[in-house]
Amino acid sequence: MQEIVEQIFNIQSEEQFESTALRIFHLQANENPVYKSFLNFLRVDSNHVKTISDIPFLPISFFKTHKVLLNGMHEKLIFRSSGTTGALTSNHLVAEPEVYLKSFLLGFRNAYGNPEDFIILALLPGYLERGDSSLVYMVNHLINETKSDVSGFYLQNHQALYEALGLAAQSGRKILLIGVTHALLKFARNYSFSHENLIVMETGGMKGQGPESTHSF
């Protein structure tokens, strides 16, 4: 398992990505009882899966009704979906938090750069109140990486968020505003802010508070 983890974080080509994905597939097919049963019901012989396009995806509904983990592993973190599509939420069981942490930190650095170069502000009502949101977990770690007192979560206090954006603009650092769609729209209706170093990351959709659509801020 450790060898596969190291391989994941050293992928340099599409060929390496495909070979690593196939190794992970075969590991799950043999050692994940839920996925193994799923393949058996589909009558899929894992030995005949030779490309990533042939890998059957486990339906999201299984994460609502089954404990999806490799044999011998135990969850150390449990993240739950927001439940906007129904009362029964999906569970993401994380057995190795250090791998999860490394994954999203490296992903952020590859896409945006070092979090230490940012002021990160989060407008995530509906997520922050819960203690089991993977989004809040990730954003909280990114905020801590900035080592800035301006970075932080801002719930319904839009005036405080607006003032924080002003302070961030004076810092000379890049600014990342991460927000759930409906909260960003509400903020934009009452406050106007523009800065060349500002990036707005929209996440989560409308959460039932209006029609889903694409907006520019």
- Summarised one tens digit per residue, pLDDT across range 125-146 is 877 777 789 999 999 999 999 9
Please indicate, yes or no, whether residues 33 and 119 belong to a single structural domain of this protein.
no
Q: What is the pLDDT of residues 153-191, one digit of tens each?
A: 998 889 999 999 999 999 999 999 999 988 998 999 999
Work out the percent of the chain whose per-residue pLDDT is above 90. 76
Tokens of 94: 């994380």
Residue 93 within any structural domain of the chain: no
Residue 49 within any structural domain of the chain: yes
Please indicate, yes or no, whether residues 161 and 195 belong to a single structural domain of this protein.
yes
State how many domains the chain has.
2
pLDDT on residue 125: 86
Please indicate, yes or no, whether residues 130 and 193 belong to a single structural domain of this protein.
yes
Residue 129 within any structural domain of the chain: yes
pLDDT on residue 206: 47
Please indicate, yes or no, whether residues 66 and 159 belong to a single structural domain of this protein.
no
Please indicate, yes or no, whether residues 59 and 110 belong to a single structural domain of this protein.
no
Q: Which long-range contacts (CB under 8 A, 24 or more apart) does 110-116 make?
A: 112/176, 112/199, 113/174, 114/145, 115/142, 115/145, 115/146, 116/145, 116/146, 116/147
Higher pLDDT among residues 210 and 25, named by residue? 25
**How far apart, in whole angstroms, are the C-alpha atoms of residue 23 and residue 133?**
29
Q: Nearest to residue 126, comparing CAs of 192, 161, 80?
A: 80
pLDDT on residue 208: 47
- Please determine, for residue 207, whether its predicted confidence score (pLDDT) is greater than 50: no
Please indicate, yes or no, whether residues 175 and 110 belong to a single structural domain of this protein.
yes
Residue 80 within any structural domain of the chain: no
Task: Give the mean pLDDT of the chain.
Answer: 90
- Please determine, for residue 123, whether its predicted confidence score (pLDDT) is greater than 70: yes
Please indicate, yes or no, whether residues 62 and 125 belong to a single structural domain of this protein.
no
CB neighbour burial string for 116-141, b if at least 16 within 10 angstroms, e if fewer: eebbbbbbbbbbbeeebbbbbbbbbe
- Please determine, for residue 28, whether its predicted confidence score (pLDDT) is greater than 60: yes
Work out the percent of the chain whose per-residue pLDDT is above 70. 91
**How far apart, in whole angstroms, are the C-alpha atoms of residue 38 and residue 26?**
13
- Please determine, for residue 62, whether its predicted confidence score (pLDDT) is greater than 90: yes
Please indicate, yes or no, whether residues 186 and 120 belong to a single structural domain of this protein.
yes
DSSP 45: -
Domain of 160 in residue numbering reads as 99-203
Please indicate, yes or no, whether residues 116 and 170 belong to a single structural domain of this protein.
yes
